[in-house]
């Protein structure tokens, strides 16, 4: 099987010195890459009951909606503050400097629905944990958290696992 | 055929007095709605040669990537300024007050590639025309511009048509 990592471009020192930025746009723009990504994630959950896939703005939208289509389930966006037009619930989260707020529509998930959380990348896990909290507040059961890329050095996947969540990623990058 | 409009929620006076906001989150979260949307757009272009689908941040990501997956082509994001990590070209566009900038990666589209532009909604056409300009600057041939919703009263589709572009939308809302 073609290695999905070979489609991902690394941009050294972006957005700042010492950060190896993993750019999935080179994966997405390749027809074979996009198929590998969507099929790889969908396959992992093909035999599980899922009602909704939740994707986190903005790269999680690209991946989440395509996987939702493939699995024949609904797609729900989690957005930055002020972007969703109907009633929302909010959750604050920490940034490197200061805080920000993520939102989900109150009626996006019904109680006890089975939810798969999808994003492009798991690093420290801050964004994912905020999304988990929003889904739980609406009464959703989180079937799993799926990512294209895991950065194990950053520890986010372990934080999710420690909360009893199931985590899957298509590939991992260490400090290479 | 189920009417795709029945899945779209209208939020009166959002984000301000007099605006009827057409909310596609109710379409996306319904498994049947998401299938109708993606299949409806993909069907329209199934017999045309397309190399890339370009989606505009952020709702265009949801739709564009799923349609790209369905058609077996690559997906390219156009993003707000400062979000793309590699070399970009930029295009300024007018907002109600002031201006903003959209970007595309320089290597996102090769010369003479056949490109389908996708977004959730066409209103005045300002965003779409900015995206068209970016795609043309990279040498892409625009096969068509596809939207979930057209607001004919706002005139955007006619502006695209007047430029010789082909326009398709799954549904239209007038002042209803």
Distance from C-alpha of B26 to C-alpha of B22, rounded to nearest angstrom: 10
Annotated catalytic sites of B, by residue?
59, 96
- The residues with which A116 forms a beta bridge, in sequence order, are A53, A144
Distance from C-alpha of B99 to C-alpha of B94, rounded to nearest angstrom: 4
In a domain, B34, yes or no: no
Residue B149: cis peptide before it, omega within 30 degrees of 0: no
Distance from C-alpha of B169 to C-alpha of B148, rounded to nearest angstrom: 5
Which tokens sit at A35? 């198929």
CB contact under 8 Å between B23 and A66, yes or no, is: no
- The residues with which B92 forms a beta bridge, in sequence order, are B101
The answer to whether A11 and A21 have CB atoms below 8 angstroms apart is yes
In a domain, B20, yes or no: no
Please provide the size of chain B in residues.
176
In a domain, B11, yes or no: no
Here the ipTM equals 0.97
Residue B107 has pLDDT above 80, yes or no: yes
CB contact under 8 Å between B23 and A85, yes or no, is: yes
The residue ranges of chain A whose pLDDT is under 50 are: none
In a domain, B43, yes or no: no
In a domain, A160, yes or no: yes
3-state helix, strand, coil split of chain A in percent (to 5) is 35, 35, 35
Q: Would you call A20 an interface residue with chain B, using a CB distance cutoff of 8 Å? A: no
Q: What is the pLDDT of residues B8-40, one digit of tens each?
A: 999 999 999 999 999 999 999 999 999 999 999
Query: What percent of chain B stands above pLDDT 70?
Result: 98
Number of domains in chain B: 1
Q: Would you call A69 an interface residue with chain B, using a CB distance cutoff of 8 Å? A: yes
**Residue B8 DSSP class:** P
To the nearest whole Å, the CA of B80 is away from the closest chain A CA by 11
**Count helices and strands in chain B by DSSP H and E runs:** 5, 9
Give Dmax (Cα) for chain B.
44
Residue A58: cis peptide before it, omega within 30 degrees of 0: yes
Supply the CATH number for residue B63's domain.
Answer: 3.40.50.2020
Residue among A21, A38, A86 minimizing CB distance to B23: A86
Q: Would you call B41 an interface residue with chain A, using a CB distance cutoff of 8 Å? A: no
Distance from C-alpha of A134 to C-alpha of A78, rounded to nearest angstrom: 9
Q: Given this model, what pLDDT does residue A175 score? A: 73
Q: Which residues of A108-119 are buried (b: 16+ CB within 10 A; e: fewer)?
A: bbeeebbbbbbb
Q: For residue B61, what are the domain limits?
A: 48-172
In a domain, B99, yes or no: yes
Q: Would you call A15 an interface residue with chain B, using a CB distance cutoff of 8 Å? A: yes
In a domain, A150, yes or no: yes
CB contact under 8 Å between B29 and A74, yes or no, is: yes
In a domain, B21, yes or no: no
pTM of the model: 0.97
Q: What is the pLDDT of residues A67-85, one digit of tens each?
A: 999 999 999 999 999 999 9
Residue B1 has pLDDT above 80, yes or no: no
């Amino acid at each position: 099987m073609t290695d999905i990592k070979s489609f991902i471009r690394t941009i050294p020192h972006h957005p700042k010195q010492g950060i190896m930025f993993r750019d999935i746009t080179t994966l997405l723009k390749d027809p074979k890459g996009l198929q590998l990504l969507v099929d790889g994630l969908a396959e992992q959950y093909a035999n599980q009951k899922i009602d909704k896939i939740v994707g986190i703005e903005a790269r999680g939208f690209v991946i989440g909606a395509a996987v939702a289509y493939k699995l024949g389930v609904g797609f729900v966006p989690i957005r930055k503050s002020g972007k969703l037009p109907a009633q929302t619930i909010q959750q604050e989260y920490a940034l490197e400097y200061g805080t920000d707020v993520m939102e989900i529509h109150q009626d996006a998930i019904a109680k006890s629905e089975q939810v798969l959380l999808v994003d492009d990348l798991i690093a420290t896990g801050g964004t994912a944990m905020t999304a988990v909290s929003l889904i739980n507040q609406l009464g959703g059961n989180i079937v799993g958290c799926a990512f294209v890329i895991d950065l194990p050095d950053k520890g986010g996947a372990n934080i999710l696992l420690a909360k009893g969540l199931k985590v899957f990623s298509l590939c991992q990058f260490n400090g290479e």
